Amino acid sequence: MEDLVILHEDNHIIVVLKPQNVPTCEDSSKDMDLLTMVKEYIRTTYNKTGNVYVGLVHRLDRPTGGVMVFAKSSKAAARLSEQMKNGDFEKKYYAVVVGKPREEKATLTHYVKKNAVNNMVYVCAMTEAGAKMAELDYTLLDTKDDLSLVDVRLHTGRSHQIRVQMNAIGNPVYGDMRYGGEKAKKGYLALWSYYLSFTHPVSKERMVFRVQPPKDNNPWSKFDTEKSVTIIKPEN
């Protein structure tokens, strides 16, 4: 609870910072997850009894940190989910990748398939059963010491998508031993959801949040990223 960082809260939504290596929601590890943290914050702050409704609108992989929005009502959840379907819900990521991508700007399109047994995602042929299209844009921002900072915008929301697609072009995300092997270099996964934009489900105001990755941590400390937004720590 004391680690919960709130970026924005009103009667309909709550926007928080997801720490790296914290699950978005309960998983087989049974470790404390962000969804539970948000529910407990609302329960204690507003003295609520019984079940607390918090709608899970989108997810981040456990090792990925950054900005997330949760709905505080079913109406808000439905409207935000609809935005995700029609493309009005925009997410951008910073990633530090190994090496320098061949192109400074590119759209990557692959077909991928998830193996539910080992929770791994693989690039596959378009004709393979269960294949789903994965598409993203990336822009190369800087290169230092055989590492590159890239800005990534997702067009689809496939599991492990950025990690799989960047590895597919020979530039695995730093710290991603799962997909990049030894080439990825050992350390924290350098993938961060720094930008989130959506239309408020009730007021219709355009909401934009930018959150800086942990600048003191390697390899983020090598690069100059955008300034973080002001954050609000809950008092309880």
Q: Which positions are catalytic?
A: 61
Going by their DSSP bridges, the two strands 206-210 and 120-124 should be labelled as unpaired
